[in-house]
Structure 1
């Protein structure tokens, strides 16, 4: 029997849009997708920040959040993530509080150092500065959100008696998270300030969580694994063959993008997967297949890393829009109910009726015969 779980479902959208598409239409499709995710019952969607490369088109996830929130009523929408070194921390904190009020607490905010070196280069930021600035910037943002008056003199920003004029709508803070990657810096930030974690399911999730718990203990915080968000690459269809075929729509452009961003990761993916997109996805810790296979994948993930609060499907646009929506529908309709065991009471009710079907049927027939024998009189 499946243990009782309450894992939420979301989507992590970088997003990827190929360079042969109209950007305005891509944006409208992303807004439509968030509305569709709300209809399916997904609890959240995260939007990335990028400034170069051409495929990931949002330089300001907070602007996306503001529009998407007006088109929805329940789903939570997050900045996944704000590249803190690229912004004045005071302005980040100010926008966070404004969006927290505008969305009545539905906006979420992730922090990171910035994924693309090309972004940092355009802004004159050296790669070795990014994580240092992330730590420095997040510290100031948190102090401002907590109502402190901040004086800070840095080589990239200055504050004199700075305070926010608005307190957050959410108490004590909006939902905040840190993206973790190859270094423990993000995890330690999460622990230091009691924030959630965004991490890849194919990576060292337990290692990231251990670093976060260590930092939390040092700073007197307690972390909850309900705030652990695990990103997985799922592309689902009714049959494995259909799922694999659907990948031919957009996998090659994504692979070319990977080669531009990270030639080493591209070479490793090619080496493990050859020319088969489904094998390449599997080599990177993802799944191309059926709802049954997705349930099995999540069960193994749970066994390997332990409890987590939210599973986020990575939105890579490897499939066309209709196939992508169908994949999300299959996840909501067939995968998560089984993984969370939400239909156990229904199953028990059916089993009880089925096991007693002859008794119930006989009692019903006897009651009908009795009425007929009395001539229909009560």
Structure 2
């Protein structure tokens, strides 16, 4: 059995459907998630990844970097990262400055995840054409790398301009923290592999994820880059309880709530909108299609491998199966989802840390 790294991925959903986001309840949500991330460090997880979303109950971290700055002060060893900052919605020079500060505050534990948002409704509300997402991301990434690697930066691009800029402060890690990117479309696989960026992906069943992994690694090999599973991260919803039956019962309503939150936040309202995506967004026509065909059910999520749920032994066996089929080197565990209670998240994480992770940190084969 291959050695695996395990991380926590969290978007910090608002768990109270129909209740307005205001008041002290928001404080409690942040405190609950912080407690979960501190437990992740104690249980031996390798990294905590936080994501960026806007305008929606789907995520209470529109600026994950602010949360990471707090997390950096409350942890000592675990790596911290954003997966992702939606670079097309941000000023890249400001991002470079924040990354440098975070790397200093964390004493060199920062990982940087960058991508373009895939959530159509965010583009609409920001008034940004879908076709601008990819070129804004690529130019923004170019400017960030200039900020990290050049003493004085001149940049006159399609979207961004800097004249004689010098990054202050500068990151601890040299030449700069490792940059990751999200990867769903075939074009992104080829580009990320050529540029040498490790990638993360989600919502792909094992057979399609295996194709994704093989495509990405084949492209790396073509470009004379190392072919190492550590460069491919797979995100999965994960829930562990004392018995398989309890896990299935506990997680059903929270997973259905997650699907509702995701659909409201990211999925176009009509098939017509989906069909009208521009060329460089066409992959997402396929990605969002299941939401229009009634294909997504709780049982279907488990059967398809998108949700790993059960007692510790069942969960470990499913992770081993998927790792062998796909090849990923890190499992990003999405353990707080929908309206799952804080106590159940904590219990699930403890069971996972005590009884699942150790199986992948040694040479013991799961029978």
1:11 and 2:14 correspond = no
Identify if the C-alpha distance between structure 1 residues 53 and 284 changes in structure 2 by more than 3 Å, giving closer, same or farther. Answer: farther
* Mapping for residues 1-378 of structure 1, pairs under 5 Å: 3=1, 5-19=2-16, 20=19, 22-147=25-150, 149-185=152-188, 187-200=189-202, 202=205, 204-213=208-217, 216=220, 221-222=225-226, 224-260=228-264, 261-262=266-267, 264-268=289-293, 270-271=294-295, 273=297, 277-283=298-304, 285-306=306-327, 308-318=328-338, 319-341=340-362
Q: What is the distance in 2 between the residues matched to 1:217 and 1:165?
A: 36
1:250 CA drift (Å): 2.1
Q: Assess, with a 3 A threshold, how the Cα gap between structure 1 residues 209 and 253 changes in structure 2: closer, same or farther.
A: closer
The more displaced of 238-247 and 309-318 is 309-318
Distance 1:52 1:223 in 2: 39
Output the TM-score relative to the length of structure 1.
Answer: 0.80
Task: Give the conservation status (yes or no) of the 8 Å contact 1:83–1:114.
Answer: yes
Task: Provide structure 1 residue ranges, at least 5 long, that are not aligned to the other structure.
Answer: 345-378
Q: Distance in 1 between matches of 2:362 and 2:223?
A: 37
Moved more, 312-321 or 257-266: 257-266
Count of residue correspondences = 335
- Are residues 209 and 281 of structure 1, via their aligned partners in 2, closer, same or farther at CA, if it must alter by over 3 Å? closer
Q: Deviations over 1:225-278 (max 9, x none)?
A: 22321111221111111011112442332232233232643344x4353xxx34
- TM-score, with length taken from structure 2: 0.82
Distance in 1 (alpha carbons) for counterparts of 2:77 and 2:191: 29
In the superposition, relative to structure 1, how do residues 162 and 223 fare at CA in structure 2: closer, same or farther (>3 Å)? farther
Q: 1:334 to 1:86 in 2, by over 3 A?
A: same
Q: 1:161 to 1:213 in 2, by over 3 A?
A: farther
* Cα shift at 1:342: 5.4
Q: Verify the 8 A CA contact 1:10 1:312 in the aligned structure 2.
A: yes
Pick closer, same or farther for the CA change 1:220–1:97 going to 2, 3 Å.
farther
- Which protein has greater RCO, CA pairs closer than 8 Å, 6+ apart? 2
Single out whichever of 93-102 and 198-207 deviates more from structure 2: 198-207
Structure 2 residues without counterparts, runs of 5 or longer: 270-288
CA distance, structure 1, for counterparts of residue 176 and residue 219 of structure 2? 20
**C-alpha spacing 1:57/1:183, structure 2 compared with 1 (3 Å):** farther
Q: CA deviation at 1:59?
A: 0.9
Any idea what SS the aligned residue of 1:257 has? Answer: helix
The 1-side partners of 2:82 and 2:322 are apart by 25
Shift, 1:126, TM fit? 0.8
Superposition deviation, residue 221 in structure 1: 4.2
Q: Distance in 2 between matches of 1:149 and 1:177?
A: 25
- In structure 2, what is the Cα distance between the partners aligned to 1:329 and 1:237? 10
Aligned to 1:159, the other structure's residue is in SS state: strand
SS of match in other structure, 1:45? strand
Query: Residue by residue, what CA displacement relative to the aligned partner does 1:18-61 show, whole Å, maximum 9, x if unpaired?
Result: 24372221111111111111111111111110112223111111
Distance 2:235 2:49 in 1: 11
Question: Cα distance, 1:132 vs. partner?
Answer: 1.8
